[in-house]
Structure 1
Amino acid sequence: MTKLRTLYDRLILAHPVVVLVLFALVLGLMSLNLHQFRLDASAESLVLENDRSLAQYRTVNQRFTTSDDFLIVTYSPHEPLFTDAGLARLAGLRDELAAVAAVGSTNSILNVPLLHSPKLSLDTVDEEILTIDGDQVPPQQARDALLSNPLYPNLLLSTDGGTTAIQVNLPTPSAFFELLEKRKQLRAKAEANPADANAQENLAQVEAEFLALTEELDARRDATIDEVRQILERHGDDAVIHLGGVPMIVADMIRFIQNDLSTFGIGVLLFLVLTLAIIFRQWRWVLVPLLCCSFTVWLVVGYLGWAEWPVTVISSNFVSLLLIMTLSLTIHLIVRYREYQHDEPDAPPATILSRTVSAMVKPCAYMALTTIVAFGSLTYSGIRPVIDFGWMMTLGLAVAFVVAFLIFPALLRLLPPPVDQRVRSNRRPFTDHFASLTEHQGPAILVGSVVLAVLCAIGVSRLTVENSFIDYFKSSTEIHQGMITIDNRLGGTTPLDVIITDDPPPAGAATSDTAAADDPFAAGDPFAEDDPFASDCDPFVEDCEAAESYRDTWYTYRKMSQLAKVHEYLDSLPETGKVLSIDTTLDLLAQVNGGKPLDALQLAFVPAAVPDDLKGILLTPYISEEHDQARFSIRLLETSPELRRQELLDRIRQHLTEELGYRDDQVLFTGMTVMYNNMLQSLFDSQIKTLGVVFLAICAMFLLLFRSLKLALIGIAPNLLAAGSVLGLMGWLGIPLDMMTITVAAITVGIAVDDTIHYIHRFKVEFEKDRDYLATMHRCHSSIGRAMSYTSITIIAGFSILVLSNFIPTIYFGLFTGFAMLMALLGALTLLPRLILLFQPFGRPGTAD
């Protein structure tokens, strides 16, 4: 250690200008790619690269010619909608939206087929289709036709006819799917033969092309949404208009996070500056920590840009956490420096600085390593953004440690701070009150800790992993108001698809083994001999030999009756809004058929009877004859207080398998709802349920660092209580875990570990002076306790500004980070020293050697 200290003094402390110049070159190098730093809130950012749910989602969209890439404009006019003037104003808005460059098409009550005419029948449906756009349909007749059609009410038109919707379709170019498939094939090839340099090179090129196209599409989407909003603003005098849809939710989430990173990032820094100025009252002790924090974030952000490593909704918190960790390191260095100034006010600044670095490098290294272990647990998650978050924090903590022990001393060598007169005084710091409390109220602290632990356990047991997108945004935001309108009047917000698989292709039909292997839906024969619906002959077909070929189609009385039962059940659920399926189409055709349900023969001819230009509306979104699948399109009500995604999916699956007789492998759930729910469940499994493993790893780190099992167990206690307090509080308050708040456990552990390590290390050093546990505790509270309190107060004050965000997860992050700091500080100043006094892990008290 002596040699390392000498080398450090010669290379770093003796040449601060050289260190700063070289560091400036590194900063400049990282600045070259700062512009490539980006946020990503796409579907891919919420799952693993080869996640099955994402593959299923894309496959279903291609098979059933559907997509969630559209905006929804809700339009509630101040004047009656179904008048010539009202429909003309709606048409004007629709035409302006359709003229936007990236818009492929629009759907509204103006262009959908009314299918309402006295002459309309199954035989004349092709000739008698009317639309408001193309035919002189009286407004009231159009209203009646739309509301009597089972397809449009609560989807394009509210049931009272007062609110309508315009679907603005934003088609994804075919090049995106071509590159996606090409990337998938090259990844498989590269994984099969990692030594194939050509495959690795081709993969890198395709991934670069895919990234460039994705960024282009993201920029186009944002520009399109901005242009759409400008159009809607011009029509705001005629109606109450809201904008919704998955692309808009993604864009607004990114916008809120970007605003928080910029606006609130500056606000946090200002709060930190103000708090540091109040605590230390010297400009050096404000400037130096501020520069260290800024340099750490600068380097990590620059590296992420250089590596083209996008930041997601979850990992966007890494900037705030890097500020916390770097600030914690620098404040501990500042307080230790000032302690040496107090002990030897006449010592040269270089000597004080060298002693400070020497004394603090070990506990700070321990802190960094143990915190890396805490955040490293995130890399074992099954969710891509959480894995990224873990690696980013691991990298950031290493950078923060290097910056603290390179730049901090280099700056102080050039700007040596004068001795603060307050440092010379022997006034009692406020942390001594905690020492007195620990000394005189030890039993109460232990009893209170046990009671708190019980309350935390109860609170943790009440935690859920359910949340609604609408809960992410304040009620004053446009996205919140738009979701409420869509939920209440237009059938729900979040898409969920239920896919039912029927018979496989007939024996002897040509199939592709490769396609079957790649198909995420590939399974065995879904209609085995024990299928309760399989029969030798359809009761509505007299010729049983003909029935064999007839049974190969979905359009049989038996199968449609069974799908109708599924539709009826899904529509009866309180969490579901609009449900669309082939049953909706059959209800519509029954109306066309004079109100009579279609018989078996008419059902068989439905594909031929429906005009080609209506098949994309009535048939292909719900039936895939090629793949023997039927689709039920559901919109979930985000505002429903009964919405519990996992419980809902389990309930639907149970009903379909136990009540309606489908096998488990015949039922598939997909859509944004499924991917979001899978992410939450995986987060819960990987983080909450394995939290014990994380604490075991930290305990092992303590054992390695302090070489005492008793001390390791003592050190883990306040960490457990701090993490449990945050999670327990969330459980008691009914705040669900989601994609951001679920990382609070790892964050809390990382923060609590810092205080524990610093306090134990200082206690061990101070104890050797007189081997008096009580006196050592008082000295530690006056020294390291002061540094811990300064760190906590500064961070709590800085992050309190996050409560002003419009993004609710950011507010929760600020509040729970502050609460975590408070609980970690209280645990380290009360429970930790009390346990040390009680169990005496440093040996028996006595006289120092």
Structure 2
Amino acid sequence: MNRLAEIILKHPKSFLGIFFILTLSAFYPALQITTDFNLENFFPKNDPTIKDYQYLEEEFGRDDNVIMVGFESDSLLTKDVLRDLKTITDSASNISNIKEVRSILSAQQINKSGQRLSFDDYFDTENLNTLSDSTKSALLTDPFAEGFLINKEGNVTAFYLEIESGKNNYSSREQIISELHDVLQPYQNSYEFKISGIPYYRNQYVQYLNEEILFYISISSVLIILLLWVLYRSVTGIIIPMLIVWLTILFTLAVMQVTGGYFEIMTSTIAPILLCVGIADSIHMISKYDDARLQGMDKPRSIKETLITLGNATFLTSITTAIGFGTLMTSDIVPMKRFGIYTAVGVMIAFLVTIFFVPSSLRIINVKHIFKDKSAGIFNFFSRSLKKLSQFNQRNYRKVTFWFLLGTIVIGSGSTFLRVNGKVFDELGEETEPIQHARFFSENLSPPFPMEFIIDTGQENGIMSPDFLRRIEAFDSYMYSFPEVERTITFNTLLKEVHQTMAPEQSAINEIPDNEQLIAQYLLLLEVSDTEFLDRVTDFSYQKIRVAAQIRDAGSFRVTQMRDSLSAYLNDQFPESKITITGSTILSADLNGKIVNSLFKSIALAFVLISAIMAFLFRNVRMIILSLVPNILPLIMVAGIMGFTGIDIKSSTAVIFTIAFGIAVDDSIHYLARLRVEMKRGASLDEALSIATEKTGKAIIVTSLILLAGFGTLMTSVFTSTVYMGLLVCLTVFGALLADLVLLPSLFYWIRPQFSFMKDGQQPAPKLEHVPSEREPLHQE
């Protein structure tokens, strides 16, 4: 750091020029970064969960490519409403990248025509009239229409836009949704349309995400600027830290875009995190610079002293924070892995920007110190309070340690109530439009959350066995024993309709034909009728059968319980068949299950790596333990608070632990580094603890206040996960502040570890009493 300080002091304008060029170069790629949200992208391509989902797509098509539009009308089946619906659906069918539009106007009734089957439209679309009572009754009890195209009461309907294969991406969906709104616009005064479906939710999620990223960067910046003004009362004290975090965010976004990254459910939080976390090192450096100037050092000496004293500590905090995030690279969850990589990169970018930009700026600006006399009262108050705190710790270190650890145990006991649970539509708050619209479908038609089953008999025509079909019927009944299951469609659903149409007397006795030849005959009739019904429930060789269920968004915890029970049932009842359970709901449930393993692995790895760094730095087992305690306790507290308040672990809240660890480790390392420096300079342990508490404590308080301001704004988000992040990180910051300034010094007073650089019998170096004035030359260290 001594050599680096000399280089920066000689060439400050060159370094600032380099930053200017890099800034211009980073603007374009940073502005090109995109946003997307796709559950499939959460998993590695060879993951079994994805393989099962792709198997469903290959055999029967996707279950996440339909946009739903519903509305309520007491005169739904009258001529005027039906004409409006026809105009709307005809226009919707012309929307770009829409393969098909299904509505009650395309619903078909199975009829007998001699010895053949006919599929006749319920409505004459050329001459729309009110349905007869018998036809209306048939429509409202049609298993393929009721709960899907129309409700039992006949006053709510929906139409469905199926997106073409290969076009279910953000840009295509955005165009579809825009054109759909144009189609619906002329009828907004007549009907209150509700739009839902997984594709729609994903794009709405992205819209909210984009708005919030800009909003929270802006509002957090404003709050941090106000706080810096209160603390420093100088333009310089605002510009330098804010330029550092803004440059950090800009460079990180540029790196993301150039390397193929984009904003998604996790990486979208990188910018707010870097805004809050990236400012800490600059605050520590500015505080040290001001201390040096107040002691009478001239500007070059103060800058050099700042780099020598804090350069290694800043590097160490950046490395440990980057490790905390970087260990997420071991995760099986792709967005979590990307989040870890890019946040770690951002932390190291913040270090590089800080270590070069702060000294270069301080060298060329014409100010003696950063904070103004008007704000001196605040820092004097901090100094007096921290000095009293140090004395209190020294007198009561046993009591402080006992009560702190006891409080952690009590709060941490709540972690026993933690559970892994996340919903498909989980991130947005209950009051948002997408969630309200999804509830409309769940309450009036069927919930838009699919659970799919493929039962492969292993032999051609295997599904024609009456025994097999009876077991399918029993399975269908078993599914309805779960209150979350709202609607199911199976091959049996179609077969029973055909049987009732062709042989009503026999169907009154046996809903399902008990004769394999009769089943084969019905299948032949369905084939020649060229209906799409058959393709939705079985394959062309009649070897596999599909069971499609619509369930409530019960959460991954409950979905996993249901899947385990259903899987056990199927394996018992169909031992000769291959069972596949998949669907978007399963993707979401499996995602949350994988998160726990990834989280534990990454945090354990972070502890190991950071312990290794501490071992190298201090070469003392007690010091390693002491350095990790204030970083572990906030995590335990966060877990306990989450457990007591019912906040579940899911894809978004899991990273809170990593963020908490990254934040907690920074200030404790700054404290320990200052303690080490003071003891090397000849101070006793008690003196060094007092100096570290008073001097480094001020910077810790300032950075904590900034973190509280920055993350506190997140609690106003429409995303529940962002609200939790803001709340829990703020609690973590407060817990880490207490741990670093109260618990950590108390532990030192109690345990009194020996430092590796103080050999037995060695006398401390004499303490330097004289501080060079500004007129004295800068000597070499």
| Distance (Å, rounded) in 1 between the aligned partners of 2:406 and 2:496 | 61
Query: Among 460, 485, 501, which residue is 2:440 paired with?
Result: 485
- Tell me what 1:720 maps to: 632
Q: CA deviation at 1:588?
A: 2.0
Q: Tell me if structure 2 keeps the 8 A contact 1:36–1:308.
A: no
Maintained 8 Å contact 1:269/1:798: yes
Q: State the distance in 2 between where 1:142 and 1:789 align.
A: 74
Tell me: CA distance 1:612–1:467, structure 2 relative to 1, closer, same or farther (3 Å).
farther
Match runs of 1:189-338 below 5 Å: 217-338=169-290
Contact 2:36 2:170 in 1 (8 A): no
Q: Which amino acid aligns with 2:752?
A: Q
Equivalence map 1:52-131=2 (5 Å): 52-77=48-73, 79-115=74-110, 120=112, 123-126=115-118, 130-131=122-123
1:649 counterpart (547, 556, 563): 563
Query: Residue 97 of structure 1: CA displacement?
Result: 2.2
Determine whether 1:155 maps to 2:148: yes
Paired position in structure 2 for 1:662: 575
Q: Is 1:553–2:505 an aligned residue pair?
A: no
Instruction: Identify if the C-alpha distance between structure 1 residues 579 and 402 changes in structure 2 by more than 3 Å, giving closer, same or farther.
Output: same
1:444 equivalent in structure 2: 399
> Match for 1:391: what amino acid?
I
Residue 774 of structure 2 corresponds to none
In structure 1, the residue corresponding to 2:568 is in which secondary structure? helix
1:5 aligns with 2:21: no
Q: Match for 2:561: what amino acid?
A: E
Q: 2:521 aligns with which of 605, 609, 620?
A: 605
The DSSP-based 3-state class of the residue aligned with 1:101 is: coil
Judge conservation of contact 2:201–2:425 (CA < 8 Å) in 1.
no
Aligned-partner SS, 1:741: coil
Residues 1:394 and 1:66: Cα distance change in structure 2 (over 3 Å)? closer
Is 2:328–2:602's contact at 8 Å kept on the other side of the alignment?
A: no
- Mapped to 2, the partners of 1:12 and 1:141 lie a distance apart of 89
Distance in 2 (CA, whole Å) between partners of 1:835 and 1:384 is 40
Shift in Å, 1:481: 0.6
Change (3 A) 1:127 1:666: closer
CA contact (8 A) 2:108 2:119 kept: no
Whole-Å separation in 2 of the counterparts to 1:848 and 1:642: 60
* 594-603 vs 363-372, greater mean Cα deviation: 594-603
Distance between the aligned counterparts of 1:612 and 1:10, measured in 2? 87
Q: Does residue 624 of the first structure (1) align with residue 539 of the second (2)?
A: yes
Residue of structure 2 aligned with 1:363, choices 301, 313, 327: 313
Q: Give, in whole Å, the separation in 2 of the partners of 1:838 and 1:88.
A: 83
> How has the CA–CA distance of structure 1 residues 832 and 845 changed in structure 2, closer, same or farther, with 3 Å as cutoff?
farther
Deviation of 1:249 after TM superposition, in Å, equals 1.2
Equivalent-residue separation in structure 1 for 2:417 and 2:615 (angstroms): 33
Deviation at 1:613, TM superposition (A): 6.0
Q: Does 1:394 align with 2:335?
A: no
Distance 2:521 2:396 in 1: 85
Counterpart AA for 1:100? I
Cα deviations by residue, 1:702-752 (Å, 9 ceiling, x for unpaired): 112222110010111111111111122111111111111101111111111
TM-aligned CA distance change 1:332 to 1:386, over 3 Å = same
2:474 alignment partner, one of 561, 565, 568: 565
Equivalent in the alignment of 2:498: 589
SS at match of 2:194: strand
| CA shift digits 1:351-370 (9 cap, x unpaired) | 21111111111111111111
SS at structure 1 position matched to 2:290: helix
Which AA in structure 1 matches 2:328?
Answer: L
User: Counterpart of 1:513?
Assistant: none
Give the SS at the match of 2:109. Answer: coil
Alpha-carbon distance between aligned partners in 2 of 1:845 and 1:242, rounded to the nearest angstrom: 80
Pairing 1:375–2:325 present: yes
Residue 773 of structure 2 is matched in structure 1 by none
Between stretches 601-610 and 755-764, larger displacement belongs to: 601-610
- Residue 668 of structure 1 aligns to a residue whose secondary structure is strand
- Is the Cα–Cα contact under 8 Å of residues 452 and 582 in structure 2 kept in the other structure? yes
Alpha-carbon RMSD = 2.5
How many residue pairs end up in the alignment? 748
Q: Does 1:778 align with 2:690?
A: yes
Greater mean deviation of Cα atoms: 603-612 or 262-271: 603-612
Q: Is the 8 A contact 1:341 1:423 kept in 2?
A: no
| Structure 2 residue 704 is the aligned partner of structure 1 residue 792 | yes
Mapped contact 2:109–2:120 kept (Cα < 8 A): no
Residues 122 and 293 of structure 1: is their aligned pair in 2 closer, same or farther, counting only changes over 3 Å?
A: farther
Letter in 2 for 1:411: S
User: Partner of 2:649: helix, strand, or coil?
Assistant: coil
Give the counterpart letter for 1:760 in structure 2: L
1:453 Cα offset (Å): 3.2
Q: For residues 128 and 414 of structure 1, do their structure 2 counterparts lie closer, same or farther at Cα, with a shift above 3 Å needed? A: closer
Letter in 2 for 1:37: I
For the residues of structure 1 that align with 2:685 and 2:693, how far apart are their CA atoms?
Answer: 12
Q: Whole-Å Cα distance in 2 between the matches of residues 758 and 83 of structure 1?
A: 74
Report the more deviating stretch, 279-288 or 64-73. 64-73
- Check 1:584–1:429 CA distance in 2 against 1; reply closer, same or farther (3 A cut): farther
* Pairing 1:681–2:593 present: yes
Q: TM-score normalized by structure 2?
A: 0.91
3-state DSSP of counterpart to 2:69: strand
| 2: CA distance, partners of 1:233 / 1:724 | 52
Structure 2 SS opposite 1:492:
coil
Alignment of 1:339 with 2:287, yes or no, is no
Partner of 1:51: 47
Find the counterpart in structure 1 of residue 775 from structure 2. Answer: none
Change (3 A) 1:619 1:783: same
Looking at structure 2, the residues matched to 457 and 474 of structure 1 have their Cα atoms a distance apart, in angstroms, of: 27
Query: Aligned residues: percent identity?
Result: 20
Amino acid at match of 1:396: G
State which drifts further: 821-830 or 424-433: 424-433
Letter paired with 2:575: Y
Tell me, in whole angstroms, the C-alpha distance in 2 between the residues paired with 1:503 and 1:571: 27
Please say if residues 474 and 807 of structure 1, whose CA atoms lie closer than 8 Å, have aligned partners that are also in contact.
yes
Pairwise CA distance, 1:311: 2.9
Partners of 2:9 and 2:363 within 8 A in 1: yes
Give the CA deviation at 1:228: 1.7
Letter in 1 for 2:323: V
Q: Is the 8 A contact 1:65 1:620 kept in 2?
A: no
The SS at the match of 2:464 is coil
- Amino acid of the residue matched to residue 392 of structure 1? Y
Say if 2:367 is the partner of 1:408.
no
- Counterpart of 1:537? none
Compared with structure 1, are the counterparts of its residues 61 and 641 closer, same or farther at alpha carbon in structure 2 (3 Å cutoff)?
Answer: closer
Report the alpha carbon displacement of residue 381 of structure 1 after superposing the two structures with TM. Answer: 0.6
1:466 shift after superposition: 0.9
CA contact (8 A) 2:412 2:641 kept: no
Question: How much does 1:555 deviate?
Answer: 1.8
Q: State the partner residue of 1:462.
A: 417
With over 3 angstroms needed to count, the CA separation of the structure-2 counterparts of 1:132 and 1:443, relative to structure 1, is farther
Which of 429, 445, 456 is 1:474 aligned to?
429
Query: Post-superposition shift, 1:389?
Result: 1.2
Q: Which amino acid aligns with 1:650?
A: D
Q: Residue 823 of structure 1 aligns with which residue?
A: 735
- Could you tell me how far apart the structure 2 residues matched to 1:31 and 1:86 are? 52
- Shift of the 438–627 alpha-carbon distance from structure 1 to 2, 3 Å rule, reads farther
Kindly indicate whether residue 679 of structure 2 is the aligned counterpart of residue 767 of structure 1. yes
1:661 CA displacement: 4.5
Counterpart-to-counterpart distance in 2, 1:845 and 1:836:
21
Structure 1 counterpart of 2:779: none
